[in-house]
Structure 1
Amino acid sequence: MTREDELLLFKKIRNGDKRALDMLFRSYYSTLCNFSYSIVKNTDLVEELVADIFYILWRDCKHLDIKKNLKAYLFTAVRNKSLEVIRKEQKSAGMHTELGSMYLSHETPETSLLYNELNLRYQKAYEALPEKCRQVFKLHKIDGLSYQEISNILDISIKTVENQMAKALKLIRTEISHYQLRSLPKS
């Protein structure tokens, strides 16, 4: 579908043409679901998320100012909604870190307290990261995406991803530096 075709469909959608919305939906639904799945990794969430984007397009079309590229708007909306879903899931599940793995096998009240303090410090450091650093850090360390995938999702260069990761790691290390993990005595 050409940009002109997309813009013509959008104009029809703005005029209340449900068939135009259906045509746009059929043209991009599958591709947008695949794109969202590369971020969210949950088929049920992806299908609902993409359907929501089309509903929002229909609901808000009179207020949207899309003059050049409807496809770019759709992909950006899906990317943003996908990242929002990940953030919400992360918040509800709590931050999962690997920092406590050393302590768990020798858990005592003292090590448990130290781990909880370290985890709290880590969470605060993570939340204090600048937005772009936090986004890149989360996508790489928590969601397990490669630098290339992050570069594609956020539409930034791989070098920028590397720089943001280095900055995030430096800031987090600085914040938790006095909680250096040390070997625990064997019981």
Structure 2
Amino acid sequence: MQVRYYDELLAFLVRAVRDPHEAQDLAQQAFERVLQHQRAGHRVDDLRALLYEVARNLLVDRHRRLQVRQHDSDAVLLDHPGPSAGEPDTVYAGRQRLQVLIAAIESLPPRCRRAFILHKIDGLSHAEVAAQMEISLNMVERHIMLAVAACRKALGDAPVRKALHAAAHDAQ
């Protein structure tokens, strides 16, 4: 593939993200996606137009990812005190939350669910999940963020990490 549009595309992306290193990453991703498109047998009539379309889509994805990251980290959930384990009401309520959490996880799209389970339940790093699923690190992060958001919503912002921990121990 010709790379004659690289400098032009890079300048566009630097203006858009105001970070030359991130702009280089986005330009590389744009060229990579266009190359994959061509290797899949699709004809490219206007390479420049396709590169810019892919770059704009990458910018939209970046914006969405940054919007999701602006929310509280799930680490803040560790600050919530856990229930005492001996009281019957607490045990019952915990089992109900666990069922809600399991239903929320099962309702996730398959690849999102798999990334989430590999990371949160099996304890793999984002990079290990990306390698195992053969997807980008960005997609792993997105899958996990979406899954955590779904769990939070299902539990009404109850402590997701503690419920996940309980689910992992119940499964063993």
| TM-score, reference length from structure 2 | 0.43
- The structure that has the greater radius of gyration is 1
| TM-score, reference length from structure 1 | 0.40
